[in-house]
Structure 1
Amino acid sequence: MTRPARVTDPSYELMDDHNGLSIIYRQHGFPSPLVRWHFHKEYELHLIVASSGKVFIGDYIGNFYPQSLFLTGPNLPHNWISQVAEDEVVPKRDMLVNFTDELFDSGYQVFAELKTLAPLLERAQYGIEFRCKHTIARAMDLMQRIADTSGATRLGHFFILLELLAASDDYQLLSGATAPQLADEHNIDRTNRAVDYIFAHYARDLPLEEVAEHLGMKPTYFSRVFKQATGRNFIEFVNRLRISKSCELLADGDKPVTDVCFESGFNNISNFNRRFQQLKGMTPSHYRRLVVQRLTEQNLG
């Protein structure tokens, strides 16, 4: 049995531990108060070191695994929810580095070389997932060096890491909507509770009215608030979560597509095939063959 994080903390995260430092390094496990649908003014470089589950960045829904590496821009809502057994605790799941635009606004005037990082920071407003295994392996080593050092040495490792990521061309931009469209402290807190509820129940029939009632809101008002905060209407959000689950099932084993359909929360195979084609541009069977082909190529490589 899996369970989502229980999320009750405020959705805007105020990091008051800068202490005059240019970057903040943190690590935490799962569950944790830091695991919630939230946003903050800082960029966040986020490395998953244990467990797998669902990632929500802006209007994007996808899967994460150990050694997944993401960069989110200022005020872009995000959350990572692990799929773990009931009462299972992951002592160390995440390694994070946070920093603000202020570091670069000041640095550009002194160090012209920092301007080469500007395109990376610009892309971060949509959220980035880095895909190159070699880049991620080097990034993991640099993240650990950041964790183990302090002062100018830590800052040096940080800039080397950003230079590495800025040079990578194997990445995916994630959200179609940016922070100004999504970040609203009042609405996103309610959406946080909605996402928590949806994540716990999306594998069965889940009408909008049920979620609205859970939040004590009228359905029409909830629908408007939810779309404003996530960039997706309710049905589209749930379907994307279900398709993400189906991709996970298709990649992990040889279950029949029909079983994958129902286990993902769809109630008929034709609707599942249609939604999958719309979102992934291929049939579920084709997707599975492609995953197997890529895994084979990686193993041979």
Structure 2
Amino acid sequence: MGGRSDLQPDTSFKLELELSDTLYSGSVRYLQHGADSPLIRWHCHKEYELHLIVSTSGKVFIGDYIGNFSPMQLVLTGPHLPHNWISAIDPEVEVPPIRDRIMQFSGDFIQQCRTVIPEISQLDRLLKQASVGILFDQSLALEVEPLFRQAAETSGFSRLVIFFTIMEKLSHTSKYRFLSSTSFDPLLDEHAIDRVNIAVNYIMRHYQIGLNLEDVAEELGMKPAYFSKFFKRSTGIGFIEFVNNLRINRACEQLVETNDSITDICFQVGFNNIANFNRRFYCLKEMTPSDYRRQAALRYYQPVSS
């Protein structure tokens, strides 16, 4: 789930309410929400979730992965894998009523199916890979979007049939990529999740300026050394790496969308040293900023036939 970058988490809201519909006892739950839902925050849980983003764009966090999202992004997350989508929305633009369509199911449900339906083992590889998050090709997202709409309007056996139709398509596609570099079981304590969410939202608001670990630690009322260990243990990624990944990700956008010089972009995204920026960029993208801009331009260039 995810929200606006200026959204402040409601620390009184219990995470389990986000994913538990006491009025529905079926095997597969369907959820949907807009970009301003109070349910939105950095979180993790024991269920699998298949997310279909249908509107808005912004930043997505899956485990230690940081990237961009836009409509028709289809992602499968496994148990205990932290995830969050943060929409970048112009305050003057009307927010769409639905941002995220979600199908949620448990590992226990799949295991129970496996004992009586041997064919369910076809999903084993897919579900194992979901531990690091799977991003599917947009063509598949477009293909299954009508099925998500149908799931929203049905329940019981009809929804179950739709769910397995979607999962069968996912299990056969070769157009996907993994997101997080590793799977992990982070802190599940509700209070800890609230504090991480506050930290992530604070970082998102300030990462392009002179943000440091001490600033965020103070925001959470923690000692810097304790916050550093807490953040790494809770998110699977160190604070400095998290911030640098955000900055490089933003730099990539600037390299593609603007004609600003690489030096200007370096300082715009929060780095104060061009050598450090170039080093971090190469480490993450395995190419220089100028090569990245050049390759991006080639992807958009369409030669004219003579």
> What TM-score comes out, normalization by structure 2 length?
0.90
For residues 298 and 157 of structure 2, what CA distance do their matches in structure 1 show?
45
CA distance in 2, matches of 1:87, 1:224: 39
Q: Is the 8 A contact 1:246 1:264 kept in 2?
A: yes
Provide Cα deviations, 1:42-93, integer angstroms capped at 9, x if missing partner.
1111111111111111111111111111111112111100111236533211
In structure 2, which of residues 61, 64, 79 is the aligned counterpart of residue 74 of structure 1? 79
Residue 90 (str. 1) matches residue 96 (str. 2): yes
* Counterpart AA for 2:198: R
Inter-partner Cα distance in structure 2 for 1:11 and 1:171: 33
1:114-170 residue CA offsets vs partner (Å, 9 max, x unmatched): 11011111011111111x232121122221222233322221111111111111222
The AA in structure 2 aligned to 1:60 is Y
CA distance in 1, matches of 2:57, 2:135: 15
Distance 2:235 2:116 in 1: 38
Separation in 2, partners of 1:183, 1:240 = 24
Unaligned runs of 5+ in 1: none
Cα deviation, residue 267, structure 1: 1.9
Give runs of aligned pairs for residues 143-154 of structure 1, distance below 5 A. Answer: 143-154=148-159
Where does residue 122 of structure 1 map in the other structure?
128
Letter in 2 for 1:73: G
2:67 aligned partner, one-letter code: G
In the alignment, what sits opposite 2:110? 104
Shift of 1:223: 0.8
User: Secondary structure of the equivalent of 1:79?
Assistant: strand
Equivalence map 1:106-185=2 (5 Å): 106-130=112-136, 132-181=137-186, 183-185=188-190
The structure-2 alpha-carbon separation of the partners of 1:17 and 1:111, relative to structure 1 and needing over 3 Å to count, comes to: same
CA distance in structure 2 between the partners assigned to 1:63 and 1:184 by the alignment = 28
* Identity across the alignment (%): 50
Spell out the pairing of 1:194-273 with structure 2 (5 A cutoff). 194-273=199-278
Paired residues of 1:182 and 1:231 also in contact (CA < 8 A): no
Alpha carbons 1:57, 1:77 under 8 Å: kept: yes
Distance 1:22 1:145 in 2: 16
Q: Is the 8 A contact 1:77 1:179 kept in 2?
A: no
* Structure 2 counterpart of 1:7, from 1, 9, 20: 9
Residue type of the partner of 1:270? A
TM-score, length-scaled by structure 1: 0.91
29, 33, 43: which one aligns with 1:38 = 43
CA separation in 2, counterparts of 1:11 and 1:260?
40
List alignment gaps of at least 5 residues for structure 2: none
Distance between the aligned counterparts of 2:256 and 2:16, measured in 1?
35
- Are the aligned partners of 2:8 and 2:201 in contact in 1 as well (CA < 8 Å)? yes
Separation (CA, whole Å) in 1 of partners of 2:226 and 2:146: 47
SS in 1 for 2:135: strand
Tell me how many residue pairs correspond in the alignment: 296
Aligned equivalents of 2:209, 2:84: Cα separation in 1:
22
8 Å contact 2:186–2:235 — kept in the other structure? no
1:17 — aligned with what? 21
Aligned-residue CA RMSD (Å): 2.1
